[in-house]
Structure 1
Amino acid sequence: MVAQLIHCPACGAADTSVADARGIHTCVYCGARYQLTRGSARTLVATSGAKSPAAPLVIALVGGLLLLIGVAGAGAYVLVSRSNADIEAPQPALPSTPAPATPALPPTPAPVEAPAPVVLPPPTAAAAAGLTVDAPPDVEATANFEAHNRRRSGGALWIYGYVTNTSPFPLGKVKVTAVLHDAEGGEVAQDSGFSEWDILQPNERSPITLLVSDPPAHESITFETHADKPFYLPGQVEGLELEVSDPRKDSFLGYKATGKVHNRGETPARFVRIDGLGFDEDDKLLGMAFSYADAELLQPGKSARFELSFFDNQPYKRFEFFVHGQPAD
């Protein structure tokens, strides 16, 4: 027989089966057997009968395809809905990054008025050619030391004071020794220094600094002075004059002074040294500083600049400045 488009009366599918010799069709989908009678199909065997092996696979494929289509559609709907919600919903504001804070500038310190400098003439000096001292043989050289201030700095003990020449003749540099004692009076340390001025006339005094490095614990300090009779004292140039500005307070360097040295004399000077002395409110020596003029050789009628700094922050109340120079050979 020729296959024709018919519908299975059991499952309704378009059956393409071919009738057997008796005119009976077996549905290719559900396996139902039926016979066409005058154009209409009459079921002969119920669908619960033997099924075509392909029927369950086809039904499963069709059902799975429909399920995938449904899931995909639902997923697309959810995705579109979420996308629209993301677009329409207001986005939370991102935390703003604060602008970097501009560091506050340190307040400008109020200007501190430094004491006006006092420029004193150099101590009585020997002639430019030097001085030969004829000291009496039966008279000893004597000097005394007066301590003014002491302080610790940088692991050391600094002692400031004056040496006075108590001899009837000029002296050179005088040696002073600081001796540290414990509670029982025993010596635990000592250190020495020399007076600053090269020449000390009778009754003149010179500043001195004693530096005791790494001093141990001690109870008291005594001082020993040693002066020698000089035979010859170095010459000093006369006519050196100082021009000093008012020392200004420096935040890091204590006080700083600038100025000029003028050679008003007739002798060229070398090693021109400027000494600065600082005093406290009791007019006691509190600190010292020195510098050299910016000239290896200062000719008569010439000038040279200098800078001098007190590298501390002591409460100075006044300053004194001195200048010394040796004659050029």
Structure 2
Amino acid sequence: MENFVLHSSLMFISCCTLAAVLGLISSYMSVNSSYAQIEVTTGGNISSPIFNRTVSEDAEPRPDILYSALHSDTIVGEVLNNFTYPIELVHITASVYDKNGVIVTTGEYNANDYQIKPGMRSGFHIFLDEKLPSNSKYTLTTSFEKSEDDKPAALLLSVDTNSKGPGSYKVLGEVINQGPDDANSVKVSGIFYDKDHKVVDVDYTYTNPDIISPNKKAPFELSFYTDNPEKIKSVAINAQSDEYSLITNDNQNKTKLAPWL
């Protein structure tokens, strides 16, 4: 009988200890999670987002989704890094609901830039599986990682021409590698704005070739279909490689804005 009581007591203590450990692990994961969420109505302009998020102990800010818009079967927008350090692998997940609050579809995609430096923006384009009902609402959840390295600025961007055709928009330019080493997987991204600086569309491409030797250059072409190309009044363009980031005029790592009115 005494052995049974002792065994039962040990079992109870073990269960309590295990529950406490699991609770601590769960608490640690919640404190250190890097997720943010916001709900908007279809076509809504997010000027002052309110996030439903877990706040870390030091109340560190989360990347802000400055604007997003839902167009039938796609969601486009831009995200701002308001951290004090660069972030990468910024992933955005959308859940879309009908007017009764029933989920109808989901989608996910990474932001268009490899790395987002403090104060910089990156566009995103989430493709959904079906056309959306009227009065839809959606949530956007972001996840990200802190970058281990801050890429040095060594890529010089020149925009040569842009054109608006029937149902299309095109930007042509070149990227020059001013770094001491090869620039690999050189990616050029663009955020296209209307007259109110709302995101009309986003796009990205790679230079041809996508490996640029030191002091060499390679062309790029951003082109996409759009119902109303005349709505596009300005473009923010960025260039990055695995090793380097964009050289900017003020050297403050801000996305270059090239207005074509």
- Code of the aligned partner of 1:262: I
Which residue in the other structure is 1:291 paired with?
205
Contact 1:237 1:325 in 2 (8 A): no
Q: Structure 2 matches for 1:16-35, cutoff 5 A?
A: none
- Code of the aligned partner of 2:96: L
CA RMSD across the alignment = 2.7
Which residue in the other structure is 1:70 paired with?
none
Distance 1:151 1:161, change over 3 A: same
CA distance in 2, matches of 1:288, 1:158: 11
Contact 2:91 2:144 in 1 (8 A): no
Contact 1:144 1:225 in 2 (8 A): no
In the alignment, which of 135, 143, 146 is matched to residue 66 of structure 2? 146
Is 2:96 the counterpart of 1:176?
no
Q: Give the percent of matched residue pairs that are identical in Structure 1 and Structure 2.
A: 24
Is 2:106 the counterpart of 1:186?
no
1:279 positional shift: 0.9
Distance 1:169 1:326, change over 3 A: closer
Contact 1:255 1:313 in 2 (8 A): no
Instruction: Kindly indicate whether structure 1 or structure 2 has the higher relative contact order, using CA contacts under 8 Å at least 6 residues apart.
Output: 2
Q: Structure 2 matches for 1:112-261, cutoff 5 A?
A: 142-152=62-72, 157-217=73-133, 219-230=135-146, 232=148, 236=151, 238-251=153-166, 254-261=168-175
Name the TM-score, length of structure 1 as normaliser: 0.50
1:281 positional shift: 1.6
Is 2:223 the counterpart of 1:309?
yes
* Higher-Rg member (1/2): 1
Bigger proportion of residues as strand: 2
- Code of the aligned partner of 1:303: K
Runs of 5+ unmatched residues, structure 2:
1-55, 245-261
1:198 positional shift: 2.1
In the alignment, which of 237, 241, 259 is matched to residue 325 of structure 1? 241
Name the TM-score, length of structure 2 as normaliser: 0.61
CA distance in 2, matches of 1:222, 1:151: 12
CA distance in 2, matches of 1:300, 1:231: 24
Contact 2:185 2:242 in 1 (8 A): yes
CA distance in 2, matches of 1:255, 1:182: 32
Output one character per residue of 1:49-104: Cα deviation in whole Å (capped at 9) or x when no partner: xxxxxxxxxxxxxxxxxxxxxxxxxxxxxxxxxxxxxxxxxxxxxxxxxxxxxxxx
Distance 1:161 1:174, change over 3 A: same
Q: How many residues align?
A: 187
Contact 2:164 2:170 in 1 (8 A): yes
